[in-house]
C-alpha cells in the first residue's frame, strides 16, 4: 500500500508498545477455547454421571423395597396360617425354611432376625456375615435402613405382624453390574471429551491463526499511522466482509482522516494565532473601556465638586445657588445612570439570570412605554407617534420594558432636528413579532452600526456624551434582547430617519 508521511509528523517514541510480545493471540484464543470446551465437557459429563447414578440408585431402592414387601407379606401370611402363637417361637421354627424359599424366589441372599435382633434364618448360612448392628437397630425400631458394602447393598426392613413386630428381613443385592456400567460410561465420556478437546483445539488453532495473521496486519498498519506514515490510495488491507474487514477499511479511512486532521490543525493553528491577535486587540479595548468609564465617572464628579466649591464660596448668590443645584442634580442623575447601566451590563454578561416569563399583551405594553416617554418628548418638542397591532406573546415584561424605554430615551436624547419625530410600531411576521422604533435623530454611519452596540467602542465616542448619555444603553438593550431569544439591530440611518428593529419570538 502506498503511503505518505505528514510534514508535521514526528516518529513516535512509543511505538515499541505496539511491538511488546507476551502471549500471542494465536495461542491465547485456542487455549481459551480449550478451557471452555474442557469446562463444558466436564460439566456435561458430570451431569450425565449424576443422572446415571441417581437412576441406578432409584432402581436399586425400588427393587429392594419391592422384594422386602414380598418377603414381609410371605412371612406374615405364613404366620397367620400357622394359628398365631408366640412370634419369637414362630420365627425360630420357620425362619430358616422361609429364608431359603425366599432366597431362591428372589435370587437374593435373605437373612431373618427375630424381634430381639437374633439371627434366626439365612438363605446362605455358610457365607460370611456382614456387620449390620447399627442398621439393624434402626430396623428393629420400625425404620428401613440400608448400607453399601463393596459391590453389594444390604437392605434391612422390619416385618410387621398383626400384633406388632415379627422380626427384620435383611436382603443382599449385588450391584456389580451397575458399577461396571457406570465405570464404562466414565471411560467413554473421558475418551469422548479428550477427542473433542484435541480436535477442537486443532481446528480452533488453525482458524485463530488465520484471524491473528490479519490482526497482525492491522497492528502493523496502526504502527505505521502512529509513526506518521499515512495510506495514500483508497484501498483495503484485505478482502473480507466480516468485522475485521470493516476494521481494516476503518483503519485506512482513519489514516486519511488523521492526515486531513493534521492539515486542519495547521489551519486552526493559523486561525488561533489570528484569534490571539483579536483577543489582544479586545484586551486593548477593555483597557480603553476602563479608562473611558473612569473618565465618564470623573467628569460628573468633577462638575459636582466644582459647583460644591462655588456654593461654599458664594452661597449667598441666589442665581448661583439655583444654577449649581440644577447642575448638581443633572450630573448626579447622569452619574447614577452610568453606574446602573454599567452594573446591569456587567451582571448580564457574567450571570445567567432566570427569565420571568409571562403572557404579555404587546400593544398595551407599547402604549405604556410611549406614555412614559411622551412627557420627555413633548418637553423636547418631539412628536411621538404610536401604531400597534394586538399581539399576545410570552416574554419577560421587565426586560422588554427596559429595552423599549432605552430605545425611546435615546430617540428623544439624540433627536437634534427641529420639529423632530419618533414612530413606535409593531407587526407580525411568521412566528415572531417585529417592533420598529424610527426617529429623526442624527445619522449613524453604516460602518458604525455594529459598534454602537459595543460598550468598548461607543462609550468614548462624542455621540455618547451628547445629551449626557452613558454610552451603555444600547449594549445593555442588545444583551437583553438576546436573553429573550431575539435580536436588536439598526435597519437604516439616513436623512429620512434612523430605524431600530427589535425582533422577538412569540
> What pLDDT, in 10s, does the model give residues 403-451?
998 899 888 888 877 788 999 999 998 889 999 999 988 888 888 888 8
Asked if the structure places residue 6 within a domain, the reply is: no
* Domain shared by 433 and 286, yes or no: no
* Domain shared by 303 and 438, yes or no: no
Query: Cα separation of 146 and 134, whole Å?
Result: 10
Asked if the structure places residue 12 within a domain, the reply is: no
- pLDDT over 80 at 122, yes or no: yes
Residues 307 and 324 sit within 8 Å (Cβ to Cβ): yes
Asked if the structure places residue 5 within a domain, the reply is: no
Domain of residue 188, CATH code:
3.30.450.20
What confidence score (pLDDT) does residue 352 get? 55
> What pLDDT, in 10s, does the model give residues 278-321?
777 657 756 666 666 666 666 677 778 877 887 888 777 888 78
> What pLDDT, in 10s, does the model give residues 49-93?
999 989 988 988 898 889 888 988 888 888 888 776 678 888 888
What confidence score (pLDDT) does residue 81 get? 80
* Domain shared by 309 and 378, yes or no: no
* Domain shared by 388 and 478, yes or no: yes
* Domain shared by 331 and 393, yes or no: no
What confidence score (pLDDT) does residue 460 get? 41
**189 or 1, greater pLDDT:** 189
Asked if the structure places residue 29 within a domain, the reply is: yes
**How many domains does one find in the chain?**
3
DSSP 8-state assignment for residue 218: H
Q: Is the pTM of this model over 0.85?
A: no
* Domain shared by 217 and 84, yes or no: yes
* Domain shared by 398 and 321, yes or no: no
Asked if the structure places residue 13 within a domain, the reply is: no
> What pLDDT, in 10s, does the model give residues 217-251?
777 777 877 777 766 655 666 666 777 777 777 77
* Domain shared by 238 and 212, yes or no: no
Which of 455-483 are b and which e, b meaning 16 or more Cβ less than 10 Å from the residue's Cβ?
Answer: bbbbbbeeebbeebbbbbbbbbbbbbbee
* Domain shared by 96 and 83, yes or no: yes
* Domain shared by 500 and 357, yes or no: yes
Q: Which of 319, 349, 379 is the last residue of a domain?
A: 349
Q: Which of 349, 378, 400 is the last residue of a domain?
A: 349
Averaged pLDDT, 115-123: 88
Domain of residue 286, CATH code:
1.10.287.130
Q: What is the DSSP string of 65-127?
A: HHHHHHHHHHHHHHHHHT----HHHHHHHHHHHHHHHHHHHHTSEEEEEETTS-EEEESSTTS
Averaged pLDDT, 125-151: 86
What confidence score (pLDDT) does residue 419 get? 80
Long-range contacts of 194-198 (CB under 8 A, 24+ apart): 196/37, 196/41, 197/34, 197/37, 197/38, 197/41
> What pLDDT, in 10s, does the model give residues 476-499?
889 889 989 999 999 998 888 899
Asked if the structure places residue 457 within a domain, the reply is: yes
- pLDDT over 60 at 349, yes or no: no
What confidence score (pLDDT) does residue 16 get? 47
> From the CB of residue 128, how many other CB atoms can be counted at a distance below 10 Å?
6
Q: Which of 196, 222, 248 is the last residue of a domain?
A: 222
What's the mean pLDDT when you consider all of the chain? 80
Strand partners, 157: 169
Domain of residue 366, CATH code:
3.30.565.10
> What pLDDT, in 10s, does the model give residues 156-184?
999 988 888 889 999 988 888 888 898 99
> What pLDDT, in 10s, does the model give residues 7-30?
555 444 444 444 445 566 667 777
Strand partners, 316: none
Asked if the structure places residue 8 within a domain, the reply is: no
* 1 closest CA partner among 215, 212, 225: 225
Q: Which domain holds residue 84?
A: 22-222
- pLDDT over 70 at 271, yes or no: yes
What confidence score (pLDDT) does residue 491 get? 93
* Domain shared by 56 and 157, yes or no: yes
Asked if the structure places residue 469 within a domain, the reply is: yes
What confidence score (pLDDT) does residue 461 get? 46
Averaged pLDDT, 345-367: 76
What confidence score (pLDDT) does residue 354 get? 66
* Domain shared by 280 and 424, yes or no: no
Amino acid at each position: 500500500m502506498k503511503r505518505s508521511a505528514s510534514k508535521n509528523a514526528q516518529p513516535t517514541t512509543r511505538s515499541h508498545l505496539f511491538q511488546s510480545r507476551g502471549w500471542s493471540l494465536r495461542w491465547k484464543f485456542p487455549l481459551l477455547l480449550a478451557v471452555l470446551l474442557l469446562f463444558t465437557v466436564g460439566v456435561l459429563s458430570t451431569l450425565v454421571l449424576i443422572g446415571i447414578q441417581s437412576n441406578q440408585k432409584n432402581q436399586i431402592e425400588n427393587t429392594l423395597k419391592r422384594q422386602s414387601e414380598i418377603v414381609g407379606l410371605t412371612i406374615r401370611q405364613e404366620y397367620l396360617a400357622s394359628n398365631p402363637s408366640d412370634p419369637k417361637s414362630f420365627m425360630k421354627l420357620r425362619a430358616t425354611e422361609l429364608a431359603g424359599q425366599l432366597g431362591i424366589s428372589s435370587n437374593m441372599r435373605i437373612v431373618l432376625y427375630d424381634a430381639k435382633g437374633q439371627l434366626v434364618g439365612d438363605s446362605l448360612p455358610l457365607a460370611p456375615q456382614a456387620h449390620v448392628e447399627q442398621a439393624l437397630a434402626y430396623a428393629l425400631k420400625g425404620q428401613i435402613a440400608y448400607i453399601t458394602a463393596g459391590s453389594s447393598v444390604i437392605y434391612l426392613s422390619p416385618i410387621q405382624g398383626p400384633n406388632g413386630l415379627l422380626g427384620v428381613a435383611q436382603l443382599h443385592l449385588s450391584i456389580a453390574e451397575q458399577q461396571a456400567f457406570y465405570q464404562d460410561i466414565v471411560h467413554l465420556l473421558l475418551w469422548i471429551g479428550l477427542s473433542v478437546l484435541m480436535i477442537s483445539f486443532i481446528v480452533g488453532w488453525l482458524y485463530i491463526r488465520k484471524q491473528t495473521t490479519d490482526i497482525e496486519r492491522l497492528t502493523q498498519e496502526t504502527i505505521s499511522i502512529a509513526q506518521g506514515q499515512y495510506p495514500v490510495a483508497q484501498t483495503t488491507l484485505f478482502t473480507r466482509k466480516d468485522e475485521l474487514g470493516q476494521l481494516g477499511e476503518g483503519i485506512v479511512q482513519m489514516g486519511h482522516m488523521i492526515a486531513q486532521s493534521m492539515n486542519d490543525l495547521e489551519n486552526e493553528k493559523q486561525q488561533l494565532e489570528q484569534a490571539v491577535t483579536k483577543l489582544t486587540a479586545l484586551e486593548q479595548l477593555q483597557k480603553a473601556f476602563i479608562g473611558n468609564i473612569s473618565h465618564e465617572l470623573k467628569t460628573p464628579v468633577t462638575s459636582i465638586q466644582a459647583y460644591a466649591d462655588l456654593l461654599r464660596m458664594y452661597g449667598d448668590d441666589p442665581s448661583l445657588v439655583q444654577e449649581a443645584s440644577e447642575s448638581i442634580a443633572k450630573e448626579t442623575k447622569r452619574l447614577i445612570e452610568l453606574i446602573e447601566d454599567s452594573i446591569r451590563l456587567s451582571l448580564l454578561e457574567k450571570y445567567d439570570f432566570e427569565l420571568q416569563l409571562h403572557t404579555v399583551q404587546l400593544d398595551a405594553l407599547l402604549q405604556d412605554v410611549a406614555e412614559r416617554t411622551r412627557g420627555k418628548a413633548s418637553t423636547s418638542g418631539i412628536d411621538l407617534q404610536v401604531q400597534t397591532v394586538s399581539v399576545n406573546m410570552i416574554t419577560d415584561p421587565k426586560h422588554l420594558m427596559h429595552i423599549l424605554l432605552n430605545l425611546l430615551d435615546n430617540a428623544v436624547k439624540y433627536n437634534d432636528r427641529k420639529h423632530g419625530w419618533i414612530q413606535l410600531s409593531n407587526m407580525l411576521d411568521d412566528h415572531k413579532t417585529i417592533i420598529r422604533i424610527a426617529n429623526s435623530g442624527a445619522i449613524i454611519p453604516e460602518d458604525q452600526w455594529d459598534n454602537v452596540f459595543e460598550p468598548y467602542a461607543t462609550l468614548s465616542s462624542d455621540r455618547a456624551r451628547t445629551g449626557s448619555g452613558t454610552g451603555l444603553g444600547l449594549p445593555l438593550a442588545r444583551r437583553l434582547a438576546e436573553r429573550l431569544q431575539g435580536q436588536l439591530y439598526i435597519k437604516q440611518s439616513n436623512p429620512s430617519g434612523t430605524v431600530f428593529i427589535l425582533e422577538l419570538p412569540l
